[in-house]
Structure 1
């Protein structure tokens, strides 16, 4: 894919900036170029990315190069493009729901071969040391030396670039095989949105005997409904501000639907009803105290959405009176990715996606920010 003709000057500027900011060029020569949509500053989030070349991480024999076929659009992409969670490393190429073909595989890699269909999620590095509690216990996503798939730096100083591109390079430890039963476009959003919901649901014991509430019915939330239903939970309840997504939520597996802005007594009517709540919302004004009212004794509230500002305060009595826990959860480990993908293949899970052409990435992120996605955009090369 060539960059749009009217962006040629901006593309040259992006390439120039990338050339000045990157670590020394990788030694591996290839017959393909690493190029993609680059955010040059905070305005990129408004649909102002430019197409240009970038220098991938320094090649090692533990790496894999992937020819990108599909990449889901995640809310994290937009947060990063606008430096919402802190200063991003510009120029950045976002996208961490990547599926494609392995076109180069390091000599030390045993689980992937050239030609395999593979995926990379939100993580592309950790220390992997035996002395690291997280890495030695299958919790690589919580390693203090975690490297994100984009806008992050590897130990040697080279940068990570994501999947709004033609090719990506990543350590193979964080690349997973895509089961043959799964469609590439449908598998892509599982690699971040999917596992972000899968991990806390599994750890909280979602399944028979549990009633689960999913707050926010978007890209993440819709996976929560799909997984909770497939895991066999007694009841799955979708929670959203309005009822516009009710029909879709019921198709995804919800048994009930709560529209918080349409019923002033929603918390009172549903108090002590849920064993587990997974909240995907990134709104710092979320009604947290009312969500906690929905939990039964020993209930667990797990936040996966990441607001850019502080969340509301609440009275500690809300926890003490029912032995309620408030937790956080971040993406998933390579082991969890494999487990989730095999489950999706076995249970014939089909996420609700809309395909967008890679050349239209700028408009796609604007539409995503405007809440138009139903329920995950997937960019296609």
Structure 2
């Protein structure tokens, strides 16, 4: 097995790329280093970050760009310094492709590589040598091996792919904020991230899992995923008062700044925690200080997870049988993808 000198992928050339204006084109990957691996891509999930990046929503994007950071494939080239991965291994890559990994880096030395000041994203980010990272809407991807995670045999590739970003983005704050038996958890938003939030909160054994969305059109899906209750903020009368002081933890997955943040805080019990993981292109709404002071509530954020966190999540998902809701699309389908129309191992996936 080997990899070509030129990779091919769906390339965005300007902000109109977010409207579907992508071209299947060749590109030169970053220089291959002894710490790197090349991966032949078999599945790549579709993440909201892809759209934000394609349209320069979070700031100017470096075009041309190949997005996609929920990647699963098989290793076809291994650098001379790589010891944890072998040719043929099935691995996944999430939203991070590099950090300094130096012993004097407070974050890397603590297993918090995702917060390293020199963190490099899997696409639209510059490596220390000046080359730019390119993602998984492609036939191959090249990344440092530290950020390629082996996939447990019990997980199908199309199920593991969206876990590499969407899954870890909610699993990490749930685990780090005590989600488990006896805890009451709310998940704001029921898209790709939110549906993982419900699935993982239920699998972690939470006493109650409340799905929170604007309308009630997703209530049946939420219950099928394991939610125990449902709040429709634009349709349920006086929902904040009715459900006041009922939740220990809220994980917000929405990426719109138009959210009733103060009302969400009313749902928290004393010493409750609100964690934002969705990343709006504008600022979050203001809140009154007494919304925090009155109950000793905390507001925080969470960014993906470390390689070790991803390993733990994949092992947990395999053990508990956590299976995301995905749509499979081959080349030419409704979603960006590649392959021969959906053969096993040749599909792209996106979380519902």
- Both structures adopt the same fold (TM-score exceeding 0.5): yes
2:101 counterpart of 1:128: yes
Tell me if structure 2 keeps the 8 A contact 1:68–1:100.
yes
Structure-1 separation of matches of 2:108 and 2:219: 40
1:264 deviates by 2.8
User: For 1:60-75, what aligned pairs fall within 5 Å after superposition?
Assistant: 60-75=33-48
1:32 deviates by 6.1
Structure-1 separation of matches of 2:71 and 2:51: 16
Structure 1 counterpart SS, 2:153: coil
Structure-2 separation of matches of 1:268 and 1:358: 48
Structure 2 counterpart SS, 1:275: strand
Structure-1 separation of matches of 2:7 and 2:53: 20
Structure-2 separation of matches of 1:150 and 1:358: 21
Change (3 A) 1:269 1:128: same
Stretches of structure 1 that go unaligned for 5 or more consecutive residues are 1-28, 366-376
Partner of 1:265: 238
1:283 deviates by 1.1
2:141 counterpart of 1:168: yes
Partner of 1:306: 279
2:27 counterpart of 1:40: no
Structure-2 separation of matches of 1:358 and 1:231: 36
2:66 counterpart of 1:93: yes
Tell me if structure 2 keeps the 8 A contact 1:127–1:143.
yes
Partner of 2:224: 251
2:329 counterpart of 1:364: no
2:56 counterpart of 1:83: yes
Change (3 A) 1:193 1:41: same
Structure-2 separation of matches of 1:53 and 1:300: 46
Structure-2 separation of matches of 1:102 and 1:56: 16
Partner of 1:14: none
Tell me if structure 2 keeps the 8 A contact 1:33–1:167.
no
The structure where helix makes up a greater share of residues is 1
1:202 deviates by 0.6
User: For 1:228-243, what aligned pairs fall within 5 Å after superposition?
Assistant: 228-243=201-216
Structure-2 separation of matches of 1:91 and 1:347: 40
Deviations 1:61-104 (A, max 9, x none): 10010000000000000000000000111000000000001000
Structure 2 counterpart SS, 1:326: strand
Partner of 1:141: 114
1:51 deviates by 1.0
Tell me if structure 2 keeps the 8 A contact 1:123–1:148.
yes
1:329 to 302, 326, 334: 302
Partner of 2:187: 214
Structure-2 separation of matches of 1:138 and 1:130: 11
2:84 counterpart of 1:111: yes
Aligned residues: 338
Structure-2 separation of matches of 1:227 and 1:332: 15
Partner of 2:247: 274
Structure-2 separation of matches of 1:156 and 1:359: 36
1:37 deviates by 0.4
Could you list the runs of 4 or more consecutive aligned residues of structure 1 that deviate by over 4 angstroms after TM superposition?
Answer: none
Structure-1 separation of matches of 2:6 and 2:64: 17
Structure-2 separation of matches of 1:61 and 1:292: 49
1:358 deviates by 3.8
Structure-1 separation of matches of 2:331 and 2:270: 47
1:364 deviates by 2.3
Structure-1 separation of matches of 2:242 and 2:83: 54
Structure-1 separation of matches of 2:211 and 2:70: 24
Tell me if structure 2 keeps the 8 A contact 1:164–1:358.
no
Moved more, 66-75 or 254-263: 254-263
Partner of 2:342: none
Tell me if structure 1 keeps the 8 A contact 2:78–2:86.
yes
Deviations 1:93-131 (A, max 9, x none): 000000001000112111110001001000001111111
Deviations 1:166-202 (A, max 9, x none): 0000000000000000000000000000000010001
